[in-house]
Structure 1
Amino acid sequence: MASYSKKEAREWGRQHLIGVANVTTPTMTSDFKRINEKAIRHDVEMSISHGFVGSLACSELAISLDQYRQVCEIMVDQAAGRLITIHHAVFNTLEENIEAVKMAEDAGAELVLAGYPPFFHPKSLDEVYEYTKALCDATNLAVMLFPVPAWGFSRLHPADMPVPLLRRLVDDCPNVAAIKAEGGMPYIMSAIEVHREFHQEVVISSPIEYEYVPLAQVIPIPFCGTNYSAYYGPYLPRIHKLIQEGSFDEATGLWYQLDPARKAFAGVPMASSGLINRTIWKYQSWLQGYNGGPIPHPTPRIYSRDMAALRRGLEAAGLNPTSDPDEAFFVGRNPD
């Protein structure tokens, strides 16, 4: 259960959503029948050692609700208060998402990243409001709203979730504590508008590192996540710390250092048809010491050409990827 009440969610967010949050992609045992507990514990420890303050328990995989519950419980237990476990609210229906968020709350997750099912096809922004409010009402946990083109709401408004919709949710849902501002990508107008309208009320997250690092030097942005930054090892948490300290020149220098890796990341097929290739994300983190290993089918594949490009990007940036052969990724560092 959360350490705060629903009415305290925003204050909790102000105090704790300071830093960078990555993503933990659950690993299966080699027979694909069970969650690999050792692998998840390994990934939590790597996240903590790299300076992340939170990690998303990824649900966009072919795992059952009960298996997802186990993932949340393992992450919370291993973190032992050192890392925020973030619930990924992207299941098949509103009813299933309400069941899942209650389960994640019972497991000890502390923040909800609100999402929408692939077959949720609203005819109006009012329907988006109703769905989102029902999810917020179903939990005492702090909720991070998530405007992003992946939901398909761009047909309703170019910002995906425009300010009037977000205003209704912030006003009507006391546990809305943050907004992950990716609406209208690849343009930054919506992100700027969201910050201007809401930053004094809720935490604004700028999750895309190539936007976060420059923007945070001119406007206050306390949180960066959830995102793929495990690919960079400890570098983005380090850059975040420098920005918060006002060491902008040093932060900018590291941002430029990451450029070859950033371009390698941009050059692989990452998010076709609104679904992130979690196998590629898992390989990226494996290059920096995370577990890697099996993801249940159906899942996107990763090919040698993409692995080679991602590895070369880290090498060119001086980010020291593992020397382990790529074939070891498919087994993982803690096989079971």
Structure 2
Amino acid sequence: MALEFTKTEAKQWAKKNLKGLEGVIHASFTPDLSGLDEEGIRWDVQYLIANQLSGILCAVEASAMTFEERKKFVEIVCDEAKGKIHVSTTVLQNTVEEDMEMMKHFEKVGGTFILLGHPVQFYPRTPDEIYREYKMMCDVTNLPVNFYAGRLHVRNMHPSYFPLDTLQQIADIPNVVGMKLCGGGPIGFMVEAFRLIGDRVLVNDPMQTNWPITILQYGQQWAGAGPYDASQTPDNPRMVRLFNTFVEGKVQEAMDLYWDFLKGVPGGGGGSLGGGADSYFNTGIVSALPDKYAQWCLGANGGMVRQPMGQRLHDYQKDGIRARLRGLGVPLRDNEEEFFVGRVNYSKGARMKKY
């Protein structure tokens, strides 16, 4: 698909176009989990658009899918979102070669930009090897790249978990337009990222608790990806309003919204919005189910995902999610069977088997 800018223009394009909040879409599956549920995926694209987000990230790494299913998933999302909202995808496959194949495919089906991290089967021995691998992957696509260092954790190279000289080298790659910070990482790394490369790329912190610093002090204009829709509704897009109010410099109004948001967050901002207990920074594991359950409560498709990401949500975890969502003052969906098979499938008569 032809792009409206060249690689050398990618940074300028991003500065002009990447603003606001980027949401997350997880794959939906058929009730027996044997294949993708295309109608359910398309439903969730429209649900996220209605939430006034500026972009959608296809979280292909957060559900157990074959490589071909991952390619089909992003193709469905791009088709449904075409001309309506930016679409990105995580490129965190098994190997460098799979990463490059996914990038080529995503560009072909109409993706907007890429969140590029490091594949599982990558063992860098030196900072220079990190740069060479990253440069090689960026060279195979014309799409803008949002750089993600959050899972590599090469603390042996630098106590920030990523070599800072390499960070600056990567920022100079023509189509690297942004850098996503990892939730739970060292605050010093956040400061260094804005200080060292914030004049070249869009450093973006997805954590709402940090926005009084990252927006007001460092000029962050875009955040993602995160399950922001699980803390708002289309009629009350309070996360979008919170972010935009900070960007507009309305400090008192923004802080009032900030504290109102934190009232409903477990641990005053240190807990998980979805109910997971482990630190993402340390595990690197994205649990799709808490997000999908919260989204379903508010109108999304829902549906179970495959193991190992699809371990059952316990009743007390669901109760915690629902208690937080009640603060939004909207009716929550409560037919658990609908969640298990997916809202679209349930409307077509699908039900859980009885034994």
| 2:314 alignment counterpart | 303
Partners of 1:53 and 1:268 lie apart in 2 by: 26
What's the offset of the Cα at 1:108?
A: 0.6
Q: Aligned partners of 1:54, 1:46: CA distance in 2, in Å?
A: 12
Separation of aligned partners in 2, 1:182 and 1:121? 20
- C-alpha offsets along residues 76-116 of structure 1, whole Å, 9 cap, x if unaligned? 22112221110210110000111111011101111110112
More displaced, 103-112 or 241-250? 241-250
- Structure 1 residue 140: deviation in Å? 0.6
How many residue pairs were aligned? 332
Alignment-mate amino acid for residue 220 of structure 1: G
Alignment of 1:98-137 (within 5 A): 98-137=100-139
Query: Does structure 1 residue 11 correspond to structure 2 residue 12?
Result: yes
Distance (whole Å) between structure 1 residues aligned to residue 169 and residue 185 of structure 2: 25
**Gap change, CA 1:134 and 1:56, over 3 Å in 2:** same
Matching residue of 2:353: none
CA separation in 2, counterparts of 1:163 and 1:293?
41
Shift of 1:4: 2.2
The superposition leaves residues 176-232 of structure 1 with CA deviations (integer Å, 9 ceiling, x where unpaired) of 01111238x443211121112222211111111111244312331101101122221
Aligned to 2:344: 334
Q: Gaps (5+ residues) in structure 1?
A: none
User: What is the TM-score with the length of structure 1 in the denominator?
Assistant: 0.92
1:265 lines up with 2:272 in the alignment: yes
| SS of residue in 2 equivalent to 1:154 | coil
Q: What is the RMSD of the two structures over their aligned residues, measured on CA atoms?
A: 2.0
User: 1:237 maps to what in 2?
Assistant: 240
The 8 Å contact of residues 20 and 240 in structure 1, kept in 2 or not, is answered as yes
Question: Per the alignment, in what secondary structure is the counterpart of residue 243 of structure 2?
Answer: helix
Q: Which residue of 2 aligns with 1:46?
A: 47
Equivalent residues in 2 for 1:1-336, closer than 5 Å = 1=1, 2-60=3-61, 61-148=63-150, 150-171=151-172, 173-182=173-182, 185-233=184-232, 234-263=237-266, 265=272, 268-270=276-278, 271=280, 273-301=283-311, 302-315=313-326, 317-318=327-328, 320=330, 322-335=332-345
Q: CA, structure 1 residues 330+156, in 2 after alignment: closer, same or farther (shift >3 Å)?
A: farther
Structure with the greater alpha carbon radius of gyration: 2
Give the conservation status (yes or no) of the 8 Å contact 2:27–2:41: yes
- Quick check: 2:157–2:163 contact (8 Å CA) kept in 1? no
Q: Distance in 1 between matches of 2:120 and 2:142?
A: 25
- Given residue 249 of structure 1, which amino acid in structure 2 is its aligned partner? Q
Residue 25 of structure 1: how far off its partner (Å): 0.4
Return the letter of the residue paired with 1:109: G
**CA apart distance, 1:331:** 1.9
**Per-residue deviation at 1:299?**
1.8
TM norm structure 2? 0.87
Cα shift at 1:318: 3.2
Structure-2 change in CA distance of 1:227 and 1:158 (3 Å): farther
Instruction: Among all aligned residue pairs of Structure 1 and Structure 2, give the percentage whose two residues are the same amino acid.
Output: 27
Report deviation, 1:65. Answer: 2.5
Distance in 2 between the 1:117 and 1:282 partners? 25
